[in-house]
Chain A
Amino acid sequence: MTWLFLLILIAAAVAAFLGGRALARRRSVGVRAHSRPAQHGAWALIWTAVPALSVLLAAAVFAPGVEQQLMAAGAPEAVQELEPFRRQAFYADAAAVGAGRPAAQIWPAPYAELLPAEGRRAARIHLMLSLGGWVAALLAAALGALYVFGRIRPDLRARNRVEGWIVGALFACSAVAVLTTLGIVASLVLDSTRFFASVPIAEFLFGSQWSPQTAIRADQVGSTGAFGALPLFAGTFLIMLIAMAVAAPVGLFSAIYLSEYAGPAFRATVKPVLEILAGVPTVVYGFFAALTVGPALRGFFNGLGALLAGGPLDPVGQYLMLVQNQMALVAGGVMGIMLIPFVSSLSDDIINAVPQSLRDGSYAMGATKSETVSRVLLPAALPGVAGAMLLAVSRAIGETMIVTMAAGLAARLTLNPLDTVTTVTVQIVTLLTGDQEFDSPKTLAAFGLGLTLFVVTLLLNIVAQRIVITYRQQYD
């Protein structure tokens, strides 16, 4: 049915275009018209399609709510008595049965008998509402067409009007970007405030106990210490440090080599290879970390521990023998590899932006290439490189899949790279992929973590971009 009405609507729009064009041609015989007939047609099309689409949009937004109201209004008493959560589930199943799909769960005695009847009612209400929506849409289209056909005249500035609509539509497209940001902020803030209502914000930020699992029980909601995110921040920080310890030197040195030493042929082969490294999905890095790097490093440390155990370094040996696959070093190291191309390409741009005159001056004074790089180019490029590193840090903090697959779940306050730690992103995934009860502090905590993550990465990005931009302007 949806398709039929859609077809009617499209046909109406096409008819409006053709009709508008024909009308414009007929009315402007012998007169010099302001706009071409096709532009009149386009104007007619807009006035037919836009009202109809607005009605449909409104229907799509409000119909589910109205449907629920209607269902609730006529529901049998047994259903009315259900608790809200179960009642929702019952309505959902009624809608499913009405649409000919199987119910999601098996209902006990009074409800099982009610289900077919309620299903029919749900189907009726649904049909009524969607039919109503479509009829209203077609009516709106007809009204729009009526308005527009009366106004097609040779002196109508149809082209300007149509172009105004086009520019408006383009503006709406770019507004989507802003709306996305607003959506992110709104969803994070709304759910976070609900979370912070049960857990004080200071406790969340500075508490050192993280054990959200224990807070599922009703008597423990927001119990002291369960939602202290400090260990998560520490774990995130540790993994970020390890990642940067790998990515910063390797990325920077490869950028220096590529921009200062490499010949064009070498550059042309190595750059695409680095781009491949950047294009590998993070889930693949996670797989690599979990099944290759983790066992390998663990084998290495366990072997080392076995060597040391019993000797003068016995405690160290004993510790090393117990090191696990999920140590911070694994996730951090692999994340570092992932960030190499990112750091390298950003640094490459920045080093290339240093004016040639600085290099020439340095060479003219007899400096070698490495001296020029380390004493002239890098100091000149320092702000830019710092900006690039901050962007990489922000990436490392927000990276999810590598840590989800290769880091642990134990929230621990430590800076030891051989310990297992957990990160903010790992916890968000863990909290939201388990049970589906949406109002427990456990799931809302994920939004608190998400808000923190968003704010931190946003600040890092803004600062980094500001630095990079001012740096670029310096040499423009």
Chain B
Amino acid sequence: MTEATQIDGARVNRLRAGLKRRYARERRFRAYGLLAIAVAVGFLLLLLGRIVEQGHTAFYTHTMTAPVYMDPARVDRAYPQGTNFEQLVAEQQLRRLGVVDDAQGTKASAMRGLFSSELKFVAAELITRQPGLVGQTVTLSAPLSDDADLYLKGEISKDTPAEQRRLSDEQIAWLDRMDAGGQIAAHFNTGLFTKGDSTEPELAGVLGAVIGSALMLLVTALIAIPLGVGAAVYLEEFAPRNRLTDLIEVNINNLAAVPSIIYGLLGLALFINWMHLPRASPLVGGLVLALMALPTIIIATRSSLKAVPPSIREAALAMGASKTQTVFQHTLPLAMPGVMTGAIISMAHALGETAPLLLIGMVSFVPGLPHSLVEPTGALPSLVYIWENASERAFHERTAAAILVLLAFMIVMNAAAIVLRRRFERRW
């Protein structure tokens, strides 16, 4: 009896020690799982945080306002566009700051580097409209140049050695004095949302790309949604089970996993080189994205058609409806919320797709706003790519801002899909 108890005691001790180890391992395992989730969520926060951090400064900008004497000796009344307004303003600004220029005019050109070339167009337009202003003093305002803007936003620091920054000590001192004199005002950057792309960062906006993306998605939606729903209805409701439909089914699953760049190659070879559709146009972009979105829409539509119980179909057929009437008057309307949710999500996905757009030519600079389906345009994701590649530092904040605009559109679309699902989805 005692012997047996002793053995049991040893065993229990061993088991206890083992149990402790096993529980420790259990806790560790659990911690790994939590850690993995923390890593994923942490990266998402880091990603979004960095983009907001880099991009928020692009949403405001600085404008210089200066009284300008429209010197009759310098302003060309007959052809105001030919006047060198920038030089005129720069010289007057220097005089106001009490700086004497040298013979080469280096100070004036340094001053000209502080404000945007937009000034020229503002002044020329003013004089064209009111030629009487020549000889008088008018108040002009124009955006600061990208570097001056960055300095005032604190992105260019005075502490950096002068040869490593894009503004000289002199220019910085002028900026500070102009700022102190109330000539410079910070305000919301409306230009970012009302202008097309430009080579000057301070004049570049996302509107052209937003319109381009919208035109492209319009083409995509008009093609992909009817085709996708039609294909899904056929496969789910009409298709006989045979080799051909099996082939189509396998095909669709594989198409959903084909890398997007392959669709770009297809678009280039088929739509541009073979059908001679215009390069970089929303039409071609929309067609390529439609082919890409098709499998996703088909799969989503099929699963929501599957969710409609067979009793609905049987009831309709029993009332004498034909197969087609059953599908179009009963099954499909009941599946519609799911279909639309899938369609919106795939459109949101198409909105962010970039690689195929690069291959069909949307990598080049397109100024202004698009006004047709067959002219070269930009798109939001390709604008992000173009701006990211630009050498001017001021484009970096604008790239992040463009990303925020892109993400905002995607969030709106996805939210719409979620609302649609919550409001209309039916559980059987």
Which residues does A use to contact B, with CB under 8 Å? 64, 159, 163, 166-167, 169-178, 180-181, 183-184, 187-188, 190-191, 249-254, 256-258, 260-261, 270, 273-274, 276-277, 279-288, 290-292, 337, 340-341, 344, 368-371, 373-374, 391, 394-395, 397-401, 404-405, 425, 428-429, 432-433, 438, 446-447, 450, 453-454, 457-458, 461-462, 465
Contacts and interface: CB of A to CB of B under 8 A. Distances in A.
B29 to A, nearest CB: 4
A121 to B, nearest CB: 20
A287 B238 contact: no
B298 interface: yes
Contacts of A282: 352, 354-355
A394 B259 CA distance: 8
B322 A163 contact: yes
Contact of B291 (A180, A256, A462): A180
A47 B248 CA distance: 29
B404 to A, nearest CB: 10
Given A257-B34, A282-B352, A284-B407, A277 B270 contact: no
Given A257-B30, A288-B51, A391 B262 contact: no
Nearest to A101: B375
A400 B260 contact: yes
B66 interface: no
A391 B37 contact: no
Given A281-B354, A453-B259, A174 B265 contact: no
B17 interface: no
B269 A286 contact: no
B240 to A, nearest CB: 11
B134 to A, nearest CB: 34
B87 interface: no
A273 B44 CA distance: 8
Contacts of B354: 281-283, 400-401
Given A64-B276, A173-B230, A405-B385, A283 B247 contact: no
11 contacts: A176-B227, A188-B266, A273-B40, A279-B349, A281-B353, A287-B384, A340-B40, A369-B26, A432-B265, A457-B258, A461-B253
A438 B268 CA distance: 11
Most buried by B among A64, A251, A286, A374: A286
Contacts of B255: 177, 180-181
The listed residue with most B CB atoms (<10 A of its CB), out of A180, A397, A432, is: A180
A344 B33 CA distance: 11
Interface string B227-240: 11111111100110
B234 A187 contact: no
Among B248, B252, B294, B355, chain A packs the most CB atoms within 10 A around the CB of: B355
A291 B388 contact: yes
Interface in B366-394: 381, 384-385, 388
B294 A399 contact: no
B414 A279 contact: yes
Contact of B355 (A174, A187, A274, A401): A401
Contact of A465 (B51, B253, B355, B407): B253
B123 interface: no
A457 B259 contact: yes
Interface in B31-90: 32-37, 39-41, 43-44, 46-47, 50-51, 54
Contacts of A261: 30, 33
B295 interface: yes
A252, A282, A370 interface centre (most CB from chain B within 10 Å): A370
A398 B265 contact: no
Contacts of A175: 248
A56 to B, nearest CB: 15
Contact of A394 (B247, B257, B273): B257
A474 to B, nearest CB: 19
Chain B interface bracket (under 10, 10 to 19, 20 to 34, 35 or more): 35 or more
A176 B235 CA distance: 13
Contacts of A276: 44
B399 interface: yes
A68 to B, nearest CB: 10
Nearest to B45: A273
Contact of B234 (A167, A273, A397, A432): A167
Given A177-B231, A428-B359, A280 B25 contact: no
Nearest to A167: B238
B247 A174 contact: no
A429 B25 contact: no
A176 B293 CA distance: 12
B108 interface: no
B348 interface: yes
B403 interface: yes
Contacts of B414: 279
A250 B261 contact: no
Nearest to A64: B276
A397 B259 contact: yes
Contacts of B384: 283-284, 287
B23 interface: yes
B388 A458 contact: no
B22 interface: yes
A428 B410 contact: no
Contacts of B30: 257, 261, 369-370
B262 A453 contact: yes
B363 interface: yes
A253 B32 CA distance: 7
A405 B295 CA distance: 27
A183 B268 CA distance: 11
A356 B355 CA distance: 43
A32 B228 CA distance: 39
B261 A453 contact: yes
B231 A159 contact: no
A336 to B, nearest CB: 9
B40 A400 contact: no
Contacts of B6: none
Contacts of A279: 348-349, 352, 410, 414
A374 B385 CA distance: 43
Contact of A447 (B33, B269, B406): B269
Most chain A beta carbons < 10 A, residue from B50, B261, B266, B351 = B261
B251 interface: yes
B381 A281 contact: yes
Contacts of A274: 40-41
A94 to B, nearest CB: 15
Contacts of B41: 270, 273-274
A257 B36 contact: yes
Given A166-B324, A173-B230, A287-B400, A399 B270 contact: no
B322 A159 contact: yes
A291 B396 contact: yes
B296 to A, nearest CB: 12
Contacts of A373: 29
B323 interface: yes
A256 B363 CA distance: 42
Nearest to A185: B266
A404 B266 CA distance: 19
Contact of A249 (B36, B253, B273, B385): B36
Contacts of A169: 230
Contacts of A253: 32-33, 35-37
Given A287-B388, A405-B388, A277 B265 contact: no
Contacts of B324: 163, 166-167
Contacts of B44: 273, 276-277, 280
A8 B23 CA distance: 80
